[in-house]
């Protein structure tokens, strides 16, 4: 029997990021779970906590002063009574504090959990790609990976919840696994901002079950898509009030107070001032607009093909409906503070749909559209996959082997 070449494992031990790249780019599925999860864990462990505006610094300082005298049941009780916004971060603090006060250990665990969902979602892309390995699937893969990237460990509350939401929606709609409705319903445990989202997702699921015929539901969704795209250019920050969308009971306690605050006029004015004074935010705003236009043109220009394939392929039909819904929802959600993060989640569905579409119809115009997408999404791919990692982690991560990386952080103390 031919001996397997695990050069990626050897490289990973010597230089984790090089081994990780080799594993991903060469599609070594037999070693991927090991390398993928250990890399995400190690990346979280290597955070330097020196970039003051990063969420990781705030979490690390909170963990340094965390008191685990409260029992597990007490934490659950406080959440039920509305005294906590969400549970995931505090439970992570609680269990990590039993064996370490080092924030690097906390982020290693956060990285492991986030990495698990990132791996599950990445495997969906790989499965859908089949053996179609070329320049065009690479571009789609790079864009797709950007929204499940290891650098998002920095804000592990929202992004772990976001990937959990994506994976739950995918299993409920695409795989007809009803049990994942439970997963969908517990997503707010990761981050409070998912509370207004879940009822909308469930209504969509029920609508799909009632109508069943994707041709009919897609005509409704196309109308919603066009309307939401137009509205997205006119809606100001917080022009939609959350308290008009959800019941007053859900707005009680810490969660309600926080939702009311981020949905207030004061926050809207603060965000507008930041956008006016920041070159980075101005450039980001420009590329966000390009992404909206790009996605809109895709659905309008290729509509006839998309509809015909949806009638012939039930998987494609469900993915088509789900993507239209998620993009439409995201066009509206971007009017809320940090609502652009939901656009990142809808982009995952969009790229999956685009990949399936490309595999079925490798037309020249589709290939050109993919090349254009590489430019449109270039700001996200470069910022998330290149700049952010260098800002977040210690230089030792890029030059040390796996053993020295671990040893160098054992006695770390947040300042």
Q: Stretch 231-260: mean pLDDT, rounded?
A: 59
Closest CA to 40 of 110, 121, 126: 110
Q: At what angle do helices 32-45 and 103-129 cross, to 10 degrees?
A: 150
pLDDT grade for 3, boundaries at 50, 70 and 90? very low
Beta bridge partners of 393: 47
pLDDT digits (tens, 9 = 90+) for 154-168: 999 999 999 999 999
Please state whether the predicted TM-score (pTM) of the whole model is above 0.85: yes
Q: Which long-range contacts (C-beta less than 8 Å, at least 24 apart) are formed by 48-57? A: 48/392, 48/393, 48/394, 49/103, 49/414, 51/391, 51/392, 54/154, 54/391, 54/392, 55/154, 55/155, 55/157, 56/107, 56/153, 56/154, 56/155, 56/392
pLDDT digits (tens, 9 = 90+) for 82-120: 667 778 988 899 899 888 899 999 999 999 999 999 999
- Check if the beta carbon of residue 93 is closer than 8 Å to that of residue 61: no
pLDDT digits (tens, 9 = 90+) for 312-369: 888 998 899 999 999 999 998 876 666 678 899 999 999 999 999 999 987 889 999 9
Q: Classify residue 286 as exposed, middle or buried by CB count within 10 Å of its CB (0-12, 13-18, 19+).
A: exposed
Alpha carbon of 106 to those of 69, 90, 269, 398: distances in Å?
Answer: 18, 11, 35, 20
pLDDT of residue 295: 97
pLDDT grade for 203, boundaries at 50, 70 and 90? confident
pLDDT of residue 328: 93
pLDDT of residue 26: 84
Write out the H or E segment, with its range, that includes residue 217: helix 214-232
pLDDT of residue 291: 95
How many Å apart are CA 307 and CA 216, to the nearest integer?
10
pLDDT grade for 248, boundaries at 50, 70 and 90? low
Q: Is pLDDT above 90 for 193?
A: no
DSSP 8-state code for residue 250:
G
pLDDT of residue 310: 87
Longest dimension (CA), the chain: 68
Q: Is pLDDT above 90 for 143?
A: yes
Alpha carbon of 162 to those of 196, 207, 230, 342: distances in Å?
Answer: 14, 23, 26, 8
HSE-up of 18 (CA within 13 Å, CB side)? 12
Q: Classify residue 114 as exposed, middle or buried by CB count within 10 Å of its CB (0-12, 13-18, 19+).
A: buried
pLDDT of residue 236: 65
Residue 2: count of CB within 10 angstroms of its CB: 4
Q: Which residues of 28-39 are buried (b: 16+ CB within 10 A; e: fewer)?
A: beebbeebbbbb
How many Å apart are CA 172 and CA 182, to the nearest integer?
10
Q: Stretch 193-221: mean pLDDT, rounded?
A: 79
pLDDT digits (tens, 9 = 90+) for 25-60: 887 778 889 999 999 999 999 999 988 888 899 999
Q: Which two tokens stand for residue 18?
A: 């090089």
pLDDT of residue 256: 55
How many Å apart are CA 228 and CA 226, to the nearest integer?
6
pLDDT grade for 67, boundaries at 50, 70 and 90? confident
pLDDT of residue 2: 41
pLDDT of residue 137: 94
pLDDT digits (tens, 9 = 90+) for 252-302: 555 555 555 455 454 444 445 555 545 666 788 889 999 999 999 999 999
pLDDT of residue 36: 95
Instruction: Please give the share of the chain, as a percent, with pLDDT higher than 70.
Output: 83
pLDDT of residue 5: 60
HSE-up of 218 (CA within 13 Å, CB side)? 22
pLDDT of residue 237: 58
pLDDT of residue 261: 47
Comparison of pLDDT for 193 and 123, the residue scoring more: 123
Comparison of pLDDT for 272 and 384, the residue scoring more: 384
Q: Which two tokens stand for residue 47?
A: 């955070």
Helix (H, G, I), strand (E, B) or coil at 237: coil
How many Å apart are CA 201 and CA 246, to the nearest integer?
14
Q: Is pLDDT above 90 for 77?
A: no
Closest CA to 410 of 138, 181, 99: 99
- Check if the beta carbon of residue 144 is closer than 8 Å to that of residue 358: no
Chain centroid to CA 37: how far? 17
pLDDT grade for 241, boundaries at 50, 70 and 90? low
Comparison of pLDDT for 244 and 70, the residue scoring more: 70
pLDDT of residue 257: 56
Mean pLDDT of all residues belonging to the chain: 84
Domain boundary assignment for the chain: 7-408
């Amino acid at each position: 029997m031919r001996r397997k070449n695990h050069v990626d494992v050897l490289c990973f031990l010597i230089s984790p990021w090089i081994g990780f790249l080799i594993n991903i780019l060469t599609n070594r599925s037999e070693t991927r779970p090991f390398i993928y999860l250990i890399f995400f864990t190690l990346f979280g462990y290597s955070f330097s906590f020196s970039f003051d505006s990063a969420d990781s610094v705030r979490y690390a300082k909170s963990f340094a002063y965390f008191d685990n005298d409260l029992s597990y049941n007490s934490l659950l009780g406080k959440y039920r009574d509305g005294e906590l916004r969400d549970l995931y971060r505090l439970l992570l603090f609680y269990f990590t504090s039993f064996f370490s006060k080092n924030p690097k250990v906390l982020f290693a665990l956060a990285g492991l959990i986030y990495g698990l969902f990132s791996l599950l979602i990445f495997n969906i892309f790989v499965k859908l790609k089949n053996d179609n390995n070329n320049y065009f699937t690479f571009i789609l893969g790079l864009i797709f990976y950007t929204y499940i990237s290891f650098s998002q460990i920095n804000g592990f509350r929202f992004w772990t919840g976001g990937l959990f939401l994506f994976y739950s929606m995918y299993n409920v709609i695409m795989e007809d696994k009803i049990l994942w409705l439970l997963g969908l319903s517990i997503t707010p445990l990761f981050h409070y901002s998912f509370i207004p989202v879940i009822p909308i997702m469930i209504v969509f699921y029920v609508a799909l079950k009632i109508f069943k015929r994707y041709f009919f539901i897609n005509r409704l969704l196309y109308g919603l898509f066009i309307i939401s795209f137009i509205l997205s250019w006119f809606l100001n920050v917080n022009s939609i009030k959350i308290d008009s969308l959800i019941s007053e009971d859900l707005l009680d306690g810490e969660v309600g107070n926080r939702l009311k605050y981020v949905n207030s006029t004061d926050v809207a004015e603060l965000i507008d001032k930041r956008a006016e004074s920041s070159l980075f935010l101005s450039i980001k705003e420009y590329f966000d607009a390009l992404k909206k236009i790009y996605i809109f043109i895709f659905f309008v220009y290729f509509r006839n093909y998309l509809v015909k394939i949806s009638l012939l392929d039930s998987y494609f039909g469900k993915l088509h409906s789900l993507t239209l819904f998620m993009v439409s929802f995201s066009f509206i959600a971007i009017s809320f503070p940090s609502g652009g993060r939901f656009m990142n989640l809808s982009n995952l569905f969009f790229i999956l749909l685009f990949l399936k579409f490309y595999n079925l119809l490798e037309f020249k115009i589709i290939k050109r559209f993919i090349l254009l997408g590489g430019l449109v999404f270039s700001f996200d791919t470069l910022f998330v996959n290149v700049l952010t990692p260098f800002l977040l982690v210690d230089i030792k991560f890029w030059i040390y082997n796996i053993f020295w990386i671990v040893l160098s952080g054992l006695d770390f103390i947040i300042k």
